[in-house]
Structure formats: C-alpha cells, structure tokens
Chain A
Amino acid sequence: MIIRRMFLGMSAALVGASLLMVADPATSQAEEELKIGFVYVSPVGDAGWTYQHDLSRLELEAQFGDRVSTTIVESVPEGADAERVIRQLAADGHGLIFTTSFGYMNPTIKVARQFPDVTFAHCSGYKRADNVSTYLARFYEGRYLTGVVAGSTTESNVIGYVAAFPIPEVVRGINAFTRGVRSVNPDAEVRVVWISAWYDPGKEREAAETLISQGADVVTQHTDSTAIVQAAQDNGVHAIGYHSDMSRYGEEAHLTASTHVWDNYYVETVNAVLAGEAESTNVWGGLADGMVELSAFGPAVSAETQAIVAERQAAIVSGDLHPFEGPVLDNEGTERVPAGRSITDEELLSMDYYVEGIQGRLPQ
C-alpha cells in the first residue's frame, strides 16, 4: 500500500500543500494486480464519513488479497487540488478510483475524460460518464430507525438534533428521524440547532449542551465529530451517533448509530472491473443492500424497542414500509405527499421543508 499523506493548512488561499510520499517496496508489478485509488476529503480518524469508506477499503484488501492493491490520499480539499490528486492516481496506473466527496464531482468527470481506460466511482454526485459511476446510500432509512429508538427512549419528549447546513441531504435525515420518532411517540418534538460547520467539536458540544439544557434527553447530530455523544454522557442523557458507532465516547449514553457500509458496493465494483465488465451505474442503496446499518444497541435500549426496530427494519427491507409513506405533512400543516403513495426519489432529493413534529422553521 502506498500512503500519501497531505498536511494541510488553514486556508487554501494562504497555504500551499506539501506532499510526503512513503513508497512501499513491494509494489513491483507481480501479477496483473488491480491498483485501486481512494480520495478522501478528511483524515481517516476513528469515526465518521471517511473512516467508513476506509473500513470498506480494508475489506477489499482482505477479500481480494494479492489481486488488488490500494492507495489512499487523505484530506484532499475539494476543487483544484482534488483534480491534481485524481489525475496523479490515474497516471500512476490505478485502474479504479473511488472519489468520496461531493465536491470531487467535476474534477472526477474532467480526469475521467482524459483516462477512458480507468474506471471511476464518485460518491454522492449526479454527473456520470461512460467510465464514471455514482453511488450513495439511503441514509434516511437508518435515520428513521434511529428515530424510532429515540422516540421510544425519550421521557421528556424533547429530542435534540445538531445539524451542519440546511441542504436537502441533511434536511432529509432530520425529517426521516422525526418520522421515526413520531411513529412511536406522537407527543415528542424534535428541536434542531444549525451550527453552520461540518466540523467544530467545540461548537457541536455547545449546541448539544444547549439542547440538553432545554430539556432534550436524547440528542443526535449531522456533523462530523463525536462531541455530542460526550456531551450526552457528561450530562446523563442519551445520544445517537451518525456515520460510525460512537459508543466508546459514551458507553451509557450511546443508544445506537446509523452507519454507512460500503463493503458490498466496493466488492461488486472491483469484481466488475477485474472481469472487465465495468459499466456506468447509479447506485442509491439502503438497508436492503446493506449500505446502511444500525450499530449495536446500548444498555438503555429496551428489548421491546429493539423488537420494534427489528420489525420496522424488516418492513423497510421488504419494501412494505417507506419512511416517507403518505400522507407526509410539513410542520405548518401543508400536505407534501398525499395519502396512498410514497415519496418519489426526486421529492427526496429536493426536500426543503420540516415535517410535522419539528419545532421552528427551516432556514431558507
């Protein structure tokens, strides 16, 4: 494995990035091994978005052994730097490149045009080409289930949600979570605090403390650090993690977490490339495809709740239940999805309202 670690400074305008390479002597061309590149937007760390991608990369190495070798480039800023990194990977003989952040979309497309023999897979984008696939998970299905856990656990009927930016992806998660909460506890309400940052442990913690001081006894987040789980643990309330299992930050507080698992998708993609049958696809998989999972339940989740969650999960997998099954009302009473049908993918992708059960108004 070759690791290129980039040390980055504060602002792209102020700093230049330096590249430090550690070459592995064992990368000489033995067989026709497939070199796979991964471009990450943040450090791997021990929890979070990039960590989940890296877990699946390790799974690839374990499953395919000598037939593949993987390269990662961490902390690549979205934009011009990304294009340089992706092009370098392609030029170095990587046959398959996963670019794992939305902002890599245009650079990926651009480089893919120059390297028609290389297969690219871009996570969370909407632009595709003959050699560029896109993939994403239906995170909202996991959110719905964690909402069920939160709604069953809360005693104060106030649930706190720390969120980054009001974009459809985040709003969809809040709404699905709230639908889950209200499906088991119609009296509970969800309060949202936007912190205008994906990553600021201090501010995430303060936002969680704020919600807890206002009576929330379960908190969850759509940001990137584990600070809210710690805040819950220190205040004796409960937390639900996101991206990864965050239980080690608060053994008693942690109820469960909605996690992303890319193993299946990555293995299938590698198999296709090895067989020379790679096609341009658009995958948006959920619980049924194993792309979304709940982590192990904490001690505070009752057996009864676990049974309800298992039942709902099975229903979502079989297609009997959709988290946004009509009627879907927004929190001002307007009907957004009529009774008798589920929400469409287009409606999901452009969601710009709060559903019933969320306090306040969505910032526009």
Chain B
Amino acid sequence: MDGMDTALAILVGTVRAGTPLVFAAIGELIVEKSGVLNLGVEGMMLVGAVSGFIATVLTGSPYIGILVAIGAGVLLSLVFGCLTQLLLTNQVATGLALTIFGVGLSAFIGLDYVGTPITGLRPIAIPVLSSIPIIGPLLFNHDLLIYMSVGMVALVTWFLYRSRGGLILRAVGESHDAAHALGYSVVKIRFLSIMFGGGMAGLAGAYLSLVYTPQWAENMTAGRGWIALALVVFATWRPARVLIGAYLFGGITILSLHVQAHGFDVSSHLVATLPYIATIVVLVLISRDATKIRLNAPASLGRPFHPGA
C-alpha cells in the first residue's frame, strides 16, 4: 500500500531527524535545571561530531567513535565549567564564545578528514519484534542511538523528579544560596550538570556524523544546537515535552519534504518556516499555564554563584 509506505517513511524520518535534537536538548535541560545557561551547544555538537568521526576512521568502530564524541563534548564543557563556575565569567558570553570556538576547532581538526568515507552505525533489528508489519520498522529497527535517546529522556525524567540527586539538582537551580546553606556543593553539582550537557551534545554531534549523514563536513550541524536550546525553553524545562518538541520539529520538517515531493502546490518558503512555527505554537499551547512555567523554570538560571556573598 502506497499510502502506508509513505506514512511509515515519514514516521521513520521523524525519529531520525528528531534524535540529534533530543540528545542535545535533554543535556541542556539538565544544565539549565541546575541554573546554568550554556549557549555553547552548537560548538560542543560540532566537536563531538568531528572527534567521533575521526575516532571511527582510526579504529573502524563507530561505538568507539560514540564514546570519543561524548568524551570530547565533556572536555569542551569543562572549559565552559571552569570559566563560568570557577572564574565566574558571564555565562551568555562564555557560551557564545564556546560555540564560535567549537565551530573553528572542529573545522581545524577535521581538515584532513573531509570526504573520508566511513561505514556508519547500522540499525539493530530487534529479533521477532522488528518483523511485525508497520510497528516493526517503526519501533524496532533503529540504530542503537535512537533507542538510547528515548531511554535517556526516561532516565532524566526519573532522575529529576523521582530521585534524591534530582531534587538536589533542582534545588541548586532554584536557589543556589539556599542549597549552599543546606551544605550542598553548588559548584560541584553545576560542574557535573555541565559535563552531562557536554556529553549529550557530543553524542548529538556523533549522531549526525556517524548515523544521519556518515561523513564529516565543516559546520554540518547547520544550526541544530540552537534549535535544541530553543526547544528546552519552549518545552518549559520538562523532559517529555522536549521529546515531543524534537519529534514535532523533525516530523514537520520531513512532512514538508514529502508534501513537496508529492507535487502539492505549496510555497517552499512557507514550508521552510512551518517546523519552527508549528513547534513553537504547539509547545506554547500545551505549556500556557504561567504558574506552571514559573514552577518549572529554574529561578537561578544564568545567575553566577558567589559562595559566601
């Protein structure tokens, strides 16, 4: 059935297009929940993408590539952490600088690897389940990272709202002075959050360079880091809504391509703006309760912490 195939292609494409956003946004969500604004997502993604790619070329294993990408994202986020948490630099300026640095650094270290072909990560078909019509290809025939991204959202939700660690992290993001007075190390907790954000951004980059388009090309993230940042805010810092937002954005992007390819008479300019408009409208509508936004928004977001001040 032709219609069925198209619907399936759209849904599978949605998951593929949404996954890098899920990783980057869920990482940034934790960072922001701890009260830190890191605008360096795009830069960390690019450095993750290039280092994961190079590691895969050198070792032949995309799994090692993924680990290296996470490591590279963490390393770069540590630079941000040291500057903003220890030297108390301005978070917005430091984050922007991190993106600019990441764009340049990734271009520089990737120079010799542009155009190197690799075998990317292959889908893992879950036995039996993947042979179910429709549901099989939709849910049980993806690469490891897609399964991981959904698992990560569940894990973060559980951690934030069901674990002691999550409670402490939220407390730090809410009022670092109060958390400090209770005896929690604000700087340490924020450092860990920033590192988690860096690792996830690196993973998002690896998804692009190892799975989505298995190649390295300068600036290949093409702004996805910024979209992830916006998603966190529009999803009002709630993990499940980040997932919805990412799939919505990916889904409408894919849908608009299908609409065009089918030859429907729509303006390509309108179609190009649709993913942005639809994602914002939907997320604003489901999160329009101002009280709840205030409850979810970390009150100390972006404010530097001076112990003892």
Contact = CB atoms under 8 A, between A and B. Distances in A.
Interface SS of chain B: helix
B151 interface: no
B253 A206 contact: yes
B164 interface: no
A201 B213 contact: yes
A10 B6 contact: no
Most buried by A among B215, B220, B254: B215
Given A194-B260, A203-B222, A7 B212 contact: no
A251 to B, nearest CB: 9
B215 A249 contact: yes
Contact of A213 (B6, B212, B217, B223): B6
B6 A45 contact: no
A213 B114 CA distance: 28
Interface in B224-282: 224, 226, 253-254, 257-258, 260-269, 271-272
B213 A214 contact: no
A206 B107 contact: no
Interface in A172-208: 191-197, 199-207
B253 A201 contact: no
Interface stretch (B62-70, B97-105, B297-305): B97-105
Interface string B61-89: 00000000000000000000000000000
Given A226-B215, A359-B263, A202 B100 contact: no
A225 interface: yes
B136 interface: no
Contacts of B212: 201-202, 205
Contacts of A338: none
- Chain B interface size, as a band, is 35 or more
A15 B96 contact: yes
A314 B104 CA distance: 45
Contacts of A363: 266-269
B9 to A, nearest CB: 4
A103 interface: no
Interface in B74-132: 96, 99-100, 103-104, 107-108, 114-115, 117
Contacts of B114: 45-46
B289 interface: no
A189 B9 CA distance: 21
A184 to B, nearest CB: 22
Contact of B13 (A166, A206, A230): A206
Most buried by A among B212, B219, B269, B271: B219
A84 interface: no
B9 A46 contact: no
Contact of A200 (B99, B115, B222): B222
Contacts of B265: 360-361
A363 B99 CA distance: 34
B218 A43 contact: yes
Contacts of A192: 260
A206 B254 contact: yes
A111 interface: no
B213 A202 contact: yes
Contact of A9 (B9, B103, B262, B271): B103
A257 B223 CA distance: 28
A206 B262 contact: no
A230 B262 contact: no
A160 B261 contact: yes
A217 interface: no
B100 A15 contact: yes
Contacts of B262: 214
A202 B99 contact: no
Contacts of B107: 7, 43
Interface in A33-86: 42-43, 45-47
A353 to B, nearest CB: 14
Contacts of A47: 115
Contacts of B32: none
Contacts of B269: 196, 363
Given A166-B268, A360-B263, 9 more contacts: A10-B103, A42-B218, A191-B261, A201-B212, A201-B222, A202-B222, A249-B117, A363-B266, A364-B267
Interface of A: 7-10, 14-15, 42-43, 45-47, 160, 166, 191-197, 199-207, 209-211, 213-214, 225-227, 230, 248-249, 359-361, 363-364
